[in-house]
Amino acid sequence: MELALPLWFEVGTYVVLALILAVDLIVAFKRPHVPSTRESALWIAFYVVLALLFSLAMLWLGDAEHAGQFVAGWLTEYSLSIDNLFVFLLIMARFSVPRRYQQELLMAGIIIALVLRGIFILLGAALIENFSWVFYIFGAFLIFTAIQQARTGTDDEVETENKLITWLRRRVAVTDEFDGARIRTVVDGRKVFTPVLIVLVALGTTDLVFALDSIPAIFGITQSPFIVFTANVFALMGLRQLYFLLGDLVDKLEYLHYGIAFILGFIGVKLVLHAMHENELPFINGGQGIEWAPEISTWTSLGVIVVAMTIAVVASLIRMRVVRVAEQKQPQPETEPGGERP
């Protein structure tokens, strides 16, 4: 079923989102600072409420099915973007980025991510429209990615980033010191790049690797390019604030990558079943659709996504509490009469 929304609504959505991103970008660059927990929480709440209001507008102007597709797609992208935070933390720590300038670099990285994802979405939509069998490829890729995610977490993304940064350092003159948030500076009368260039490349390429997972995943929920893109924008808009709100907690959510792996695997299976149902490959069932292949509804997908992430986060928090209690119960070394530990 095609999504039928008024043209003014789609155009207005793009304009409003562009304005919000522009304001967010200006604030990040004009007021470089480390956001407080309260500030980050308020921004995230604002973006979440904005996304929910957008889904209600789609329900009012469209129908419940496509509103549900947006919510499911937004939650999927939001869940997968949390995995990005772990690598973002590693990148910021590895290059010793001053916390005062992390807002600006994260915002620039998010803009790069939106451009790259926009290109991916256009390509994906064109492939799906002309070649329905691409769902087989998307589904198989997501199932493979889910297995890799459960086994290795984000190691593959970090390794990819390392190789690219090594290649770039060999070919571009880059200083070891930051000059504020400037991408270029002058050293001994010669213009050279600062580590900001390396950080931006690392952030952009890391998100590109993650987009290879997330874009096929959301196409497994909806084939509407409008919903796919808006879900990505809403998911990425609060990512910068989420980075400062969660901080090192992301690294401690031990079971998070299992929840993400389960979601990817589930959507991968859904894509394969959809491909079987719409089959056009002549060497499979004579080019006819396989009737017994079930179609998984949007609301089922939404339920699975919410339950998987809830279980992963709650299990991780319980694990953190158990470890903390165990550490507190460990006996402390006794002190000698002089007050010194033996």
Break the chain into its structural domains and give their ranges. 13-280+287-325
Q: Report the C-alpha gap between 49 and 198 in whole angstroms.
A: 34
Helices (H), 95-188: 99-130, 134-152, 155-171
Burial class (CB in 10 A: 0-12, 13-18, 19+), 288: exposed
Q: Report the C-alpha gap between 262 and 312 in whole angstroms.
A: 10
Whole-prediction pTM: 0.77
Determine the angle formed by the axes of helices 225-237 and 7-30, rounding to 10 degrees. 20
Q: Report the C-alpha gap between 203 and 13 in whole angstroms.
A: 27
**Residue 150: CA count within 13 A, CB half-sphere:** 13
Q: Do 183 and 193 meet the contact criterion of CB atoms below 8 Å apart? A: yes
Q: Report the C-alpha gap between 324 and 319 in whole angstroms.
A: 9
Q: Which two tokens stand for residue 173?
A: 């003159």
- With vertex at residue 141, the alpha carbon angle to CA 168 and CA 209, rounded to the nearest 5 degrees, is 20
Q: Report the C-alpha gap between 98 and 92 in whole angstroms.
A: 8
Coil, helix or strand for 329? helix
Coil, helix or strand for 24? helix
Q: pLDDT per position in the chain (342 positions), as tens?
A: 566 788 899 899 999 999 988 887 787 777 767 777 788 888 889 999 999 999 999 999 888 888 999 999 998 888 877 767 767 777 777 777 887 778 778 887 788 878 888 888 888 888 887 777 888 888 888 888 888 877 765 555 555 556 666 777 777 777 777 777 778 888 777 788 888 888 887 777 777 777 777 788 888 888 888 999 999 889 888 777 787 777 656 666 778 788 888 988 888 898 888 888 777 788 787 777 777 777 888 888 888 888 988 898 899 889 888 878 877 777 665 555 555 555
Query: Hey, how many other C-beta atoms are within 10 angstroms of the C-beta on 6?
Result: 10
In the DSSP assignment, the letter for residue 287 is G
Q: Report the C-alpha gap between 122 and 225 in whole angstroms.
A: 7
